[in-house]
Amino acid sequence: MTRSRLRTRDSSARMPRERSMLAAMAVDSLGSGMYVPFSLVFFHHITGLSFTVVGAVLTAVGLIGMTALPLAGAAVDRYGARRVQLLLYGVRGTGFALYPLATALPAFAAVALVTAAGDRAFPAVQQAWIGEVAQGADRDRLQASARALRNAGLGSGALLASLVVALCGDRGFVLTAWLNAASFATAALLMRRVRVERRPAADLGGVGTAGASATARAATVAGARTGGYRTVFRDKPFLGLTGANFLTALGYSALAVLFPLFIGGTLGEPQALTGAAFTVNTVLCAVGGVTVAAGVRRRGARRTRAAALGAVLFATAFAGLAALAAARPQSGWVVPVVLFALVGLYTGAELVHSPSSSTLAVAAAPQELRGRYMAAYQLSWSLASTLAPSLFTLLEAADARLPWLVLTGTALSAAALLVALERHLPADAVHLTAPAPVFTSTPAAPRPARV
């Protein structure tokens, strides 16, 4: 594909009902932003339980909720991503609507478990849904838009929740729970307007190269229908891709887990600097996500190499943070300036890596098993976010430089693995291909013929 073709498509009209899909993502993220940044306080005020109990319950149900991923993947392959996504919107919305009523520990644990299962399964289902509704470079564009909207929604939701609590006091926490439930219902109504035309089985993505014969593709489809997760586990290139994502996902967890320890403890700076760093990352991702991803597409970069470049940028930022931990400059202005420069580099790495790596996984998955493949891929994110707190605190207690050095090594390893996997992954997953929109909406009435 030429760069001119990509540039023309990026500047052309969007696909039908795409705005509804993006609006649903924005509303979903806005609701999530009302509780994600301060979930412990949120649930403590809603249920009246102690912070210790709330934390233990959320940790336990989060781990148990990961078991919903394989089930959600199988359901996507059987019923389609759209139906499963709408179901999960309903599960999550019902959970938040019930939270204010679940003041007893057993009731809270039960509601939290069902809601956590929906939350853990949702990203994989959404990835599969994007794989169904868009093809080629459109997938990369939608991934970038989804990431930008999520960051904007999380930031806006946190500000909205703070305003509601400031105006309504403790009752504001109950109100935000119901507003979050309403956001899931609204997102479901918006997403319900988006439909997709099923592609023929011969047009499977990620199951072969451009020159594969129809017979070979048909055999792949037949094997996919009967293989289930065994097919996923036998797909060594995809498992390697999932492993590379796990190594990089540890770095994504650093902003929320490691930065507060590093800024307030190692550097001895006020925690307000942590909030400022988080804000800078959120704003840059929201404002620059689509632009950076469009630049990568216009250059026609291979998805593997774009993701590897993002991993190298992550490694550079982590190495800089390790050097800052070693130097610990005493000048009052040096630390904030260097820190924000490294946060900017970290954010740039995220903007380059995220859309390419996500779309690479979607495109490498066979259509018939995309749900199961995305569930397996999402486990790398869930496992990284689960292990990160204990891993980072253990390393930081031994040496303040150690967690950053470990993250430097994991990011570089991920970059090398992505490049090595390039020749083993399907060609149409590695290379950007011409967009083939498959969005549809409710059929409109036929226009009268001109006379």
Residue 438 reports pLDDT greater than 50: no
Cα separation, 415 vs 361, whole angstroms: 15
Instruction: Say which residue, 364 or 173, is predicted with more confidence.
Output: 364
DSSP 422: G
Cα separation, 270 vs 424, whole angstroms: 48
Per-residue model confidence as pLDDT tens digits over 282-311 = 888 878 877 777 777 777 678 899 999 999
Please, are residues 206 and 365 in contact by the beta-carbon 8 Å criterion?
yes
Instruction: Say which residue, 364 or 201, is predicted with more confidence.
Output: 364
pLDDT in the model for residue 215 = 41
Instruction: Name all domains of the chain by residue range, CATH numbers in brackets.
Output: 14-198 (1.20.1250.20), 228-432 (1.20.1250.20)
What's the token pair of residue 364? 């490498």
Per-residue model confidence as pLDDT tens digits over 307-327 = 999 999 999 999 999 999 898
Cα separation, 27 vs 33, whole angstroms: 10
Q: Is the dihedral of CA 405, 411, 413, 415 positive or negative?
A: negative
Average pLDDT, the chain: 80
Q: By three-state DSSP, how is residue 415 classified?
A: helix
Per-residue model confidence as pLDDT tens digits over 44-69 = 777 778 878 888 888 888 888 888 88
Torsion of CA 202, 203, 208, 211, to 10 degrees: 80
Per-residue model confidence as pLDDT tens digits over 66-125 = 888 899 999 999 999 999 999 999 999 999 898 888 888 888 889 889 988 998 899 889
Q: What is the pTM of this model?
A: 0.77
Mean pLDDT of the region 215-243: 72
Q: Provide CB contacts within 8 A for 154, sequence distance 6+.
A: 29, 32, 33, 36, 37, 282
Query: Which residue has 């459109």 as its token pair?
Result: 138
How many Å from the N-terminal Cα to the C-terminal Cα in the chain?
40
Q: What are the φ/ψ torsions at residue 440 (nearest 5 degrees)?
A: -140, 170
